[in-house]
Structure 1
Amino acid sequence: MKKPDWIATWPVRFGAIAAATLMASACTAVSHQEDRVPVAESAPPAELVLTNAKVYTVDATNSVYQAIAIRDGLIIALGSDAQIAPLIGPETRRLDLHQRMVMPGLIDGHMHPLAGGAMLTACSLDYEPLTIDQILQRITVCLKEDGKKAPGEWLRVQAWFRQATQPAGADLTAEILDRLPTDRPVVVQASDFHSMAGNSAAIAAAGITDDTPNPSDGEIVRDEHGKATGIFLDGAMWQVIGSAPVPSADAQRQINLANARAAVQAVNAQGVTTLLNASARVEDMEAWADLRDEGGLTTRAVFAVKLSPDEAAQPDQAAAHIIDLAARYTLPGNAKAPGLVIDRAKLFVDGVVQAPAQTGAMIAPYFRNFGSSAHPQWAPGEKTGSLYFDEALLTRILDALVSRGLSAHMHTTGDKAIHVTLNAIQTVRQRHDAPHFRPALAHDEVIDPQDYQRFAQLGAIPVLSLQWGKPAPDTINTLVPQMGPERARFVETAGKFHAAGARIAFGSDWPIETLDEWLAMQIAITRKNPDPTEERYKGRLGDDPGLNIATAIRAFTINAAYSLNMEDRVGSLEPGKYADLIVIDRDLTAIPAEQIADTQVLLTVLGGREVYRADSFAQ
C-alpha cells in the first residue's frame, strides 16, 4: 500500500523493532507517546478528528494518544489535542469523545456471516438448554407461524444446543421429530453445525436408506439394527440439506443478499470491521458483490473456500478452482471501499469433540461413563473420532496451495487433528519459503501439550473461539469428563498457547455461537461463566491462566489481521493504515475484567466513514 508522500516524510515514531517486539502480545503496560508525533506543516487538513479520547493503538508497544486525525480513509496523525489541532480546517469534522476509549475495529478471524444473517430470521431454539418437549413445542410454534408453506417445503430449525438437551443424555431422533404436527420435512441444526436431526419425511426426501453409505467426511448415525436414527454428522448433514428444494436462482440470490445485509449490520454493531468467512461458497461471494453494488458493504472480508477430502484428493485441480474463484469474485478494495479477498482454502480436518458426536480426532480414546448418571464411572472407551484428512492428503493439498500463493484455514478440534496438521505444515515449511503462508488452526479444543510450542516454531496460528473457555454444559457435562483427568487440563485453553509463544487470533464462529465479541473477550481473561445457571458452572475452567487484557485485545485486532495477511493495513491505529476504528463506552485497560462483557460499541468507523452509531451516542 503506497502512502501519500507527505505521510512518508514525517519523522519516524519508533526505531527499528526487533521481531520479538512485534510479538508484543505479552505487553501489559501501555506507552503514552503524545510528544512523539510532530505534524508536518505541509499536511492538508483532516476530514475527521477525534479528540479528548484515549486512543489505544495496539501498535508494537500499545501506545496511547489523546487524538487521531483521518483523511482519505487513512490515519494521518496521532498525538495530543494540541498536536493534532493544526490539522483541523474549516471543513474538518471534529468529535470530542469526553475521554472515551478508541481502539482498532475488531477483526473476527473465523465466522460464517451469511449463515449468521440467516439465523437472525430463522426458526431458532436460541442456543438454550431445552427438554425434548420444549424443543417440540418451539418447533410447533414455528410450524403454525409458517402455516402457508406447501406440504413438501422443508422447515430448517437453527441453534439446537444439542449437548445441553435435558435431561442429560437426551437426544433428538426421527421418531421424536415425527411427533410434530406436520408432514413437511423438518431438520434441526445443532448449534455446532456439525450435527443435525431430521424427521422421517426429511430422511425419505433425501433418499437416505439403511444401505446409504457414509460420505467420506461424515456419518449417518444408525442404531444397533443398522437403521438410520435421524442424526447426521458433518458431511452427511449437508447431504440431507442438499436434497431440499431450492428457490429460483433470482429468489435465492435475493435471500442471500438479505442475509448478507443483516450480517454486516450485526457485526458492525459489535465493532467488527474485518472478518473471515470460514467456509465460503459461490453464493456467499455473489451476495458480497451484490451488497457492494448496492452500497451496503461495510466490512472488509477474506473468504476461505471449502474443500472436501474428495476435492483435495486432486490437489492441483482444487488449488486451480480457488484461483479461478478469486479471479471471478475478488472485489478490489482500498481504504474507503472494503473489498473481498479469496486467497485460502478451508479444510475440515476432523469434526467435533463434544459428546454425543465425538467426531473430533483424538490420539487416545474418549472416556465414557460405564456407570450411571448418579454414580458415574469414567474410563477409556473405544471411540477416537474421525480424521477426515490424513497427514499425507493434508500435506499434498497444503503443498499445492502454497505453491500457488494460497494459504489454508483448517478446522481442528481434537489433539490428533492438531498434531497431524502441524506435521503437514512442518513438511510444507521445509519445502517452501513462503511468507504468505500463515496456516490457521481453528478451535483447537483439546491439544497434546507437546504441541503448544510447535505453533510458534512453525508460524501456525491458533484461531480460538475464546468464549468456549468457561464452565458450561458443553464443557463440564461432556467435554471435560470424556477427556479424563490428564487431558482435561488441556481443554479450551488460551493462556497455555500464549505462554508457548503462539500468536493467538480470535474467531467467534458465529452463528455456531451467538455474536458477542465482548463476552468472548471477558471469558478469555476470566475463564468464568458470567451467568452460571448451576453450581457446577461456577468458578474457572481448568488450570489455564487465561489472557491478560493487552493480549486479549491483540487477539481481536492485530493478530487476527496478521492471520489474514492484512496487518499492514488494519489491526492497529498507525499513520498510513486504514482508518478502521471503534469508540466504546469504557476503558478496557482500567476496569475489572468481569465488566468487559457489558461493553457497548458507540461508533464504528470504516475507512473514515461512520457505519454504525449507537442510539445512545449523541451527535
Structure 2
Amino acid sequence: MAPAVNSLLLACFAGSALGASIAQRAPLPIADTLFVNGIIHTLDSGSTTINGGALAITNGTITCVGEEEDCKSAVGASTKVVDLNGKVMIPGLIDTHVHPFDAGRAMLGCTLRYRQLTQEALRKIIQDCLDSQPGETGMLTVTEFDREGFTSINGPGNKAMLDSLKTTRPITIIATNQHNVFVNSRTLQLLNITRNTPDPQGGIIGRDANGEPTGFLEENASGPARALGGDRGIPQLNAGIAALSQLRRRGVTTILDALQAPHDAWTTLKQRGDLTARVFTCFGVFGSTDFPTIVSQALAAKNQLDESTLVANAPGQHWRNVKFFIDGVLPEVSEASLLLEPYLVDNGNGTWVPGKNFGIPNANQSQIQEIITRTLDAGLGIHLHASGDAAVRTVLNVAAAMNRHFQPSEIGIAHAELVAIEDRTRFAELGIPIIASYQWAQKATYGADKNALTLGPERMSRLQAHGTLNNAGALLAYGSDWPVDPLDPFLALAIGVLRKGDPQNRNAHASFGPQFVGRLDDQPALSREVALRGMTIFAATYLNSTSSIGSLEVGKFADIVVIDRDYLDEKAVPDDELARNKVLLTMIGGKAVFADNSTSFIPTEWLAESNRLDSDPVVKSLKPGNILARSLTGRTCGSANHRH
C-alpha cells in the first residue's frame, strides 16, 4: 500500500496525468462533484494510492485527482462536495466477456439457479414452472442447469426424466455452460431428431447404448433447440433492463457482449437515459462457418449501430468485434474442448488411460486462418473461444504464421482453460491477451469427480493457470461469462487471488459442501492488484479504450465505484473476507446509476436516481431467487410484457 501522496512523490508522477493534476496550480475547471476524504486507488501506471484523497468531476470527466488541497480550487457555488469518510474509490469495473441478454432472460424466466439437483427436485421446479403457465403450448426454456453437478448425483441423464412431467409442451433446459441442452421427447420430435439423424458439424447428438437419442444436444447440435425457444416470451429490451440492473449493483460500468446479432435494445435505453453501462459487442453466429457472410454482417452491424466515439457522460454502444468458437467445453459430460492428447477413459478396472476423443473442433486450421484474416482486414477485432490446449495452440500458430505483433484489441483468446507449458510465453510474444474467468480456478462441480479423471493429474495441474500466464507476460482481461456463473466480481477477484471459493458466499461452489472447500491446487495465483487490473485497466487495454476508461486519472471518464472496505489492504480485508466486498456507489460518466440506500454519504438525488432505475417494472419483477444462486422463490417466469 502506498502512503498518502506528498511532495516527495511528485517527481515519481511528473510524467503522468495524476502528477499533472497534483502539481498544477493553474485554476481547475469548476467541478460538478468533488469527492473528498476517501482512499483512491487510481490503478494508473504508478499504482498510486491516495489516502484522504480528493477527486473532481466536470461534465463526466475527471479534472483533478490528489489530496484535498490540490483540488480545492475546483469547488464552485454549484459543486456537490461528497465526503467519503474513508470509503474506497476504484475505477468502474469492466467485464470483457458477458452475455447480458441470456442473463436477463434467465433472471426473468424459469431457472434452476445453478443448484445441484436430484431428479425429483429438477422435475418439481420444472413442473411448478409449467403449472404457473396454464394454457401455454410453446417451448418452455429452463436455464442455469448445473449439468455436471446433476450428473454426479443422478448419473447420465435421459429424456425419460423429462417425459414424466405432466405436459405436452416441448422443454429445453440450457446448461450453465451454455454449450449444451437437455430436452424432452417432444422437442426432439419437433426438431426431427431420431436415432438415424447424423451429428451436425461441430456438434453431437447424445445417444444411449442402443443408439437412441438421450435428450442431450452438444455444441452445434444445441442451436436448433435454442432457436425453437425464440425469445422465451421475454423481449430483448426487458432482458437488457434486467441485466443492467445487476451490472450496476455489482460496480460494472463497461461490458463486452460476447455473442450477439443486431438489436435496438441499447438504442432504446439510451434514448430513455437508462443505458447504465458502456456496451461493446461481438457480432457472431453460433455454429456458422460462412466467413464472408459473418464479416459482412458484422460490418453492417458496425455501420448501423457503432458509436465511433466514447462519450464521458453518455454511455453508448460499440460494435467492433467478431466472435468465433474454436472448440467447446471441458467437462466429462461434454468433452468438447479440443486437446493435444485425448481425454482419458476408464479401462474397466478403475485405471484411466488415453481414449480416442480429442474434443469437438468447430473449424480446421485453414478456416481459423480465414476468419482471423477476413476479420482483421475488415478493421474489426476477433474474440475467439478457445478452451483446450490444442485449440489455444491452433490460434497461436495461425497468429504466428501471420508474422507480426498484434495490438491487444485485434485478437483475444477467451478462456484458455488449458495451455501447454511451451505455449505460455507466446501470448506476450504475439501481443494476444487472454480473457480469463478467475472464478473457474475454484473447486467446483465442473472440475470434480469424472471431470478430473478424464483430464488426468498432469492436465489438472495446469488448469486455469492465470497466475502462471500473468507471470509469463500475458495480458489478462477479466470476463465473467455471466450467466455461466452468477455475477459476482468480488468473488471472482477473491478466487483469482486465493484459488478457492468462499463457503460463506452462496455464489461460490465452496458453499455446496465440504468437498468444494479449500484451494484448487498449488499453482501461483494473481496478486490483488493484478486481479483488479484485469477488471479495470487491462480490460480497457483489450477494448482499446485506455484513453477514456480503466483508471482514475485526469482527462478520463468518471466511471467510479465506491466500496465499503479497502480490497487492496490485507489488514482491512483479510483473505477469507475478500469475496465479501460491498458496492456502495456506481457512477458512469459522473452520473450515479446505483446507490446503496443504507449508506449515509450518498446525496439524496443520487439515491432517487438509483431508485428510479430500480422502479422499472422489469426490475421490480426480479425477486432474489431469480438473481442469487441456491435460494428459492415462488416466482417462476415473467416480465413486464409477458406474465404468467
Shared fold, TM over 0.5: yes
Map of 1:570 onto structure 2: 549
Larger mean CA deviation between 270-279 and 36-45 belongs to: 36-45
Map of 2:297 onto structure 1: 321
2:302, 2:437 → 1: CA distance? 27
Kindly report which structure 2 residues correspond to 1:509-588, keeping only aligned pairs within 5 A, or say none: 509-531=481-503, 532=510, 533-588=512-567
Asked if the contact 1:107/1:556 (under 8 Å) is kept, the reply is: yes
Change (3 A) 1:123 1:309: closer
Q: Secondary structure at the match of 1:243?
A: helix
Compute the TM-score of the two structures, normalised by the length of structure 1: 0.89
Cα deviations by residue, 1:346-367 (Å, 9 ceiling, x for unpaired): 1111000111101111111111
Change (3 A) 1:246 1:485: closer
Q: Secondary structure at the match of 2:428?
A: helix
What is the total number of aligned residue pairs between the two structures? 579
Shift of 1:565: 1.2
Shift of 1:270: 0.2
Kindly report which structure 2 residues correspond to 1:493-512, keeping only aligned pairs within 5 A, or say none: 493-512=465-484
Shift of 1:272: 0.2
Shift of 1:271: 0.1
Check if 1:292 corresponds to 2:266: no
1:208, 1:451 → 2: CA distance? 40
Kindly report which structure 2 residues correspond to 1:15-414, keeping only aligned pairs within 5 A, or say none: 37-65=22-50, 66-149=53-136, 152-165=137-150, 167-168=152-153, 170-244=155-229, 255-282=235-262, 285-308=263-286, 310-312=288-290, 314-315=291-292, 317-331=293-307, 333-371=310-348, 376-414=350-388
1:358, 1:272 → 2: CA distance? 32
Aligned match for 1:466, one of 432, 438, 441: 438
Aligned match for 2:394, one of 401, 420, 444: 420
1:454, 1:135 → 2: CA distance? 44
% identity of equivalent residues:
30
Q: Which runs of 5+ in 2 are unaligned?
A: 1-9, 504-509, 603-644
Q: Which runs of 5+ in 1 are unaligned?
A: 1-10, 18-32
- Partner amino acid for 1:277? D
Asked if the contact 1:463/1:505 (under 8 Å) is kept, the reply is: yes
Shift of 1:323: 0.9
- Partner amino acid for 2:471? A
- Partner amino acid for 2:523? D
1:110, 1:270 → 2: CA distance? 15
Asked if the contact 1:153/1:245 (under 8 Å) is kept, the reply is: no
Asked if the contact 1:47/1:92 (under 8 Å) is kept, the reply is: yes
1:418, 1:560 → 2: CA distance? 20
Cα deviations by residue, 1:125-151 (Å, 9 ceiling, x for unpaired): 1101111111111111111122242xx
Cα deviations by residue, 1:491-533 (Å, 9 ceiling, x for unpaired): 1221111111111111110011111111000000111121234
Asked if the contact 1:206/1:244 (under 8 Å) is kept, the reply is: no
2:549, 2:436 → 1: CA distance? 20
2:516, 2:353 → 1: CA distance? 23
Shift of 1:153: 1.1
Shift of 1:308: 4.8
Shift of 1:538: 2.7
Map of 1:610 onto structure 2: 592
Kindly report which structure 2 residues correspond to 1:593-608, keeping only aligned pairs within 5 A, or say none: 593-608=575-590
1:270, 1:596 → 2: CA distance? 15
Asked if the contact 2:383/2:411 (under 8 Å) is kept, the reply is: yes
Change (3 A) 1:36 1:577: closer
Map of 2:624 onto structure 1: none
Compute the TM-score of the two structures, normalised by the length of structure 2: 0.86
2:371, 2:358 → 1: CA distance? 24
Asked if the contact 1:309/1:389 (under 8 Å) is kept, the reply is: no
1:435, 1:493 → 2: CA distance? 23
Shift of 1:294: 2.0
Aligned match for 2:454, one of 463, 482, 493: 482
Map of 2:609 onto structure 1: none
Asked if the contact 1:352/1:358 (under 8 Å) is kept, the reply is: yes
Asked if the contact 1:414/1:447 (under 8 Å) is kept, the reply is: yes
- Partner amino acid for 2:48? S
Asked if the contact 2:56/2:71 (under 8 Å) is kept, the reply is: yes
Q: Secondary structure at the match of 1:474?
A: helix
Asked if the contact 1:199/1:230 (under 8 Å) is kept, the reply is: yes
Shift of 1:39: 4.2
- Partner amino acid for 2:246? A
Larger mean CA deviation between 525-534 and 266-275 belongs to: 525-534
- Partner amino acid for 1:553? L
Larger mean CA deviation between 459-468 and 200-209 belongs to: 200-209
Question: Alignment RMSD, CA only?
Answer: 2.2
- Partner amino acid for 1:269? R
- Partner amino acid for 2:515? R
2:122, 2:154 → 1: CA distance? 15
Shift of 1:83: 1.4
Q: Secondary structure at the match of 1:514?
A: coil
Asked if the contact 2:405/2:429 (under 8 Å) is kept, the reply is: no
Shift of 1:169: 6.0
Shift of 1:598: 0.8
